[in-house]
Amino acid sequence: MNRFENYLRAAIYAVALTLASTLSAVAETVEVAPGVQLTKRTYKAPINEQPFFGFAAKNSEQQAADANFVNAIIQAAGTREKAFEETTKRGWRAINANRMGEAAQRFNQAFLISPEQSGVYQGFAAGTLARFKDLDATEELFKVALKQPHPMKALNADYGRFLLVAKRPKDAQSVLEQAVKDAPDFADAWTNLAWARFQNGDQAAACAAAEEAAKQRPSANSASDLTAVRDRAQCK
């Protein structure tokens, strides 16, 4: 390779680094609900299977279709609150069945119905982590969910589990200690807390959390985690 080619490659690399740095510094944010700003992110998936419809701008015809959908589903459900509740339930059922495309569609519908509600952002956080493995977006969504109205009791449990996935057990433990206060009968929260305590070096406390989890009814997803943490922590 001659000197000119070496110079050309170095120049291209320098330009690429500059562009990447510039794009990172000016990451675009979008207001998705009054007072709620999010970083604009898109993924390789159909628009209606991306959070917030991929932040795509909608024309007047699409906006009218959204309004018609919201009016129809509220009329069918009886109230906006019931329409939102039923739509998010379907979203969670889809997530639990690993139907992530359908889940995103449901949470997009929930967003149209009540864009300010915490459940929208928690649902998108869970789906974004499971499908796109985007840790930055997931954390941003969880943090928004914590600030929005009517959070689910399982919100801190889900956020704490995410922090474990992100290999941040110290952060996870403080969140999960709150999670078991929010929902003391939620076995999955106790299981996740057991893992956090174990990863932070406190086997006795991990076993105490695991024992509490066993008293409740662990979900199918959590039962194997509970067995694993009890084995790792050598619980009696």
Examine the domain organization and report whether 136 and 39 are in the same domain. Answer: yes
CA end-to-end span of the chain: 66
pTM of the model: 0.87
> Tokens for 134?
């985007």
Position 92 confidence tier, pLDDT thresholds 50, 70, 90: very high
Number of domains in the chain: 2
For 15-37, the pLDDT digits (tens) are: 444 444 433 445 799 999 999 99
- Tell me whether residue 84 is in a domain: yes
Domain containing residue 93: CATH number: 1.25.40
Q: 129 and 87 in one domain? A: yes
Q: Which two tokens stand for residue 214?
A: 């066993």
Kindly indicate the confidence band of residue 220, based on its pLDDT and cuts at 50, 70 and 90.
confident
Note the pLDDT tens digit of each residue in 29-66.
999 999 999 999 999 999 999 999 999 999 999 999 99
d(CA 19, CA 153): 43
Per the structure, the complete domain to which residue 210 belongs is given by 168-236
Residues comprising the chain, all counted: 236
Asked if the structure places residue 185 within a domain, the reply is yes
Q: Average pLDDT for residues 127-133, to the nearest whole number?
A: 97
Residues 65 and 137 in one domain: yes
How far is residue 33 from each of residues 47, 116, 148, measured CA to CA in Å? Answer: 19, 6, 10
Provide the percentage of residues in the chain whose pLDDT is more than 90.
86
